[in-house]
A = this chain, B = another copy of it.
Amino acid sequence: MTTTSSVLAAQATDFPRWYQDVIAKAELAENGPVRGTMVVRPYGYGIWELLQGAMDRRIKAAGAANAYFPLLIPENYLRREAEHVEGFSPELAVVTVAGGKELEEPLVVRPTSETIIGEYLAKWVQSYRDLPLLLNQWANVVRWELRPRLFLRTTEFLWQEGHTAHATAADARAYATKILYDVYRDVMVNVLAIPVVAGRKTRRERFAGAVNTMTLEAMTGDGKALQMGTSHELGQNFARAFDIGYLSSAGQRELAWTTSWGSSTRMLGGLIMVHGDDAGLRVPPAVAPVQVVVLAVKDTVLEAAQRIADELIAAGVRVVVDNRTDQPFGRRAVNWELKGVPIRVELGPRDLAGEVATVVRRVHNTKSPVALSDLTTTITSALTADQSHLLTSATTSQHARISAVTTVAEAIEAAADGWAAVPYDAVGESGEDQLAESGITIRCLQREDGTLPTEDNEPGLTAFVARSY
């Protein structure tokens, strides 16, 4: 909420400040009254809705069904899985009074729902025929944050959390991996235009209660890493704690294997940090609530502006007409640029007389006159091209900023301004401690061929090392 200037901080000078400025000036979000909470404003929420739709369709295609579990969890549920409670205890918000009375047992505001969903999986899974049981929920969760940052780390955030039960470890692993690739990576790459590196977390970075955490990591404009989504194999930890068992086809009682996986409003932070530039946001067309704004320069062109919009809307484009001709044109144009609307169609009386409009593409900042008769075709193909341009350009910068190094010392140096790819054999758990002292983490481990290791101690792994948000 800067009031001193209408310009953003420069990315190169102060990236975190630029990030804050963009969020405020593009009217994406604001701080809530309680420290660390967030108000998502309509423009930010509009992006979230499109992202959510894309994610939800893929989750359903992967066979999971949506359900809804309660926000308030009896405190004793969390205690049933030792690592889980240890990991989450410092972050809990606790309801102790309700209906005017002190509660006998405090209730935790869900920080994640493995425990409460585990309780119901145990009821619903009886026989091998009930497996796999594949659930997802869209919900808010609360984790008390010490260093909150809008979208990236907020005390309350919106997310989806999937929870599944399987008959075998192999089936659980296959499903958690499918979610990572076919749902999360597909959305991030093909909808958000964000290239992500897939890998396995080290034990230190694993989800509390998991036997394996798989992650997708994006590179921000300042060369740091951002965890965009994770998928966990929970082994039989929660199955044991909540007694999720089943009768096998051989009539034997067996413990199930469970998974959980989540992606959140944090992805919007990724979108801003990956695609934004010094002029503001650049929203990929696939999640742009406004793909095209038609800017009427003067009142006399309003009718023509509306006709252009109608034709685009009929072609399935999301369009807004900016008819605020009583306000300075330059200020309006800058505002839409800030908001990262992919295409501006500027229409003045002279354009109209010449039967053209000026098309400005946010992604390249190019400006060119286009005949009104070609406008819809030009724009629909520009939207497709600009979506893929954002991905290509983010991929190129990501590759350019990953340095292949061979020692921990070199990795620390490289992480000052990008990521390092270093042989995990040269790091190990002691090297990981050393990195941590410099505020650097192993983001994930990958095999040489880019696939995911199934064990921490496989030889020949590459560690991606970076500072992170």
**Interface assignment of A316: CB less than 8 Å from any CB of chain B:** no
Interface stretch of the complex, out of A84-92, A172-180, A212-220: A84-92
**Interface assignment of A436: CB less than 8 Å from any CB of chain B:** no
**Interface assignment of A350: CB less than 8 Å from any CB of chain B:** no
Contact present for B90 and A156 (CB under 8 Å): no
Q: Which of A9-59 contact B (CB under 8 A)?
A: 30, 32-34, 37-42, 45-46, 48-49
Instruction: Please report the C-alpha to C-alpha distance between residue A107 and residue B156 in the assembled complex, in whole angstroms.
Output: 13
Chain B residues positioned under 8 Å from A238 (CB to CB): none
Instruction: Please report the C-alpha to C-alpha distance between residue A116 and residue B95 in the assembled complex, in whole angstroms.
Output: 19
**Interface assignment of A300: CB less than 8 Å from any CB of chain B:** no
Chain A residues within CB distance 8 Å of chain B: 30, 32-34, 37-42, 45-46, 48-49, 65-74, 77, 89-100, 106-107, 109, 116, 119-120, 135, 139-140, 142, 144, 146, 155-156, 158
In the A-B complex, the 7 residue pairs with the smallest Cβ-Cβ separation, listed nearest first, are: A99-B144, A42-B65, A37-B70, A32-B70, A40-B68, A93-B98, A94-B97
Contact present for A89 and B100 (CB under 8 Å): yes
Instruction: Please report the C-alpha to C-alpha distance between residue A99 and residue B94 in the assembled complex, in whole angstroms.
Output: 9
Instruction: Please report the C-alpha to C-alpha distance between residue A48 and residue B65 in the assembled complex, in whole angstroms.
Output: 13
Chain B residues positioned under 8 Å from A32 (CB to CB): 69-70, 72, 116
Contact present for B39 and A70 (CB under 8 Å): yes
Specify which of B46, B97, B135, B139 is in contact with A106 (CB 8 Å cutoff): B97
Chain B residues positioned under 8 Å from A116 (CB to CB): 32-33
Given A65-B46, A95-B94, A70:B38 Cβ within 8 A? yes
Contact present for B144 and A98 (CB under 8 Å): yes
Contact present for A39 and B68 (CB under 8 Å): yes
Instruction: Please report the C-alpha to C-alpha distance between residue A42 and residue B45 in the assembled complex, in whole angstroms.
Output: 25
Name the CB-closest residue of B to A27: B124
Instruction: Please report the C-alpha to C-alpha distance between residue A92 and residue B101 in the assembled complex, in whole angstroms.
Output: 10
- Expressed in whole angstroms, the minimum distance between the Cβ of A59 and any Cβ of chain B is 12
Q: List 15 A-B contacts (CB under 8 A).
A: A33-B70, A33-B119, A34-B74, A34-B107, A38-B70, A39-B70, A40-B68, A41-B67, A45-B67, A46-B65, A48-B68, A71-B140, A92-B100, A93-B99, A94-B96
Max chain B Cβ within 10 angstroms of own Cβ: one of A37, A46, A70, A135: A70
- Expressed in whole angstroms, the minimum distance between the Cβ of A211 and any Cβ of chain B is 26
Chain B residues positioned under 8 Å from A98 (CB to CB): 92-94, 144
Chain B residues positioned under 8 Å from A120 (CB to CB): 30, 39
Instruction: Please report the C-alpha to C-alpha distance between residue A30 and residue B155 in the assembled complex, in whole angstroms.
Output: 29
- Expressed in whole angstroms, the minimum distance between the Cβ of A233 and any Cβ of chain B is 23
Contact present for B33 and A73 (CB under 8 Å): yes
Contact present for B96 and A91 (CB under 8 Å): no
Instruction: Please report the C-alpha to C-alpha distance between residue A344 and residue B71 in the assembled complex, in whole angstroms.
Output: 36
Contact present for A109 and B106 (CB under 8 Å): no
Given A34-B74, A39-B68, A74-B34, A93:B95 Cβ within 8 A? yes
Contact present for A99 and B33 (CB under 8 Å): no
Instruction: Please report the C-alpha to C-alpha distance between residue A32 and residue B117 in the assembled complex, in whole angstroms.
Output: 10
Chain B residues positioned under 8 Å from A46 (CB to CB): 65-66
Name the CB-closest residue of B to A30: B120
- Expressed in whole angstroms, the minimum distance between the Cβ of A312 and any Cβ of chain B is 18
Contact present for B77 and A33 (CB under 8 Å): yes
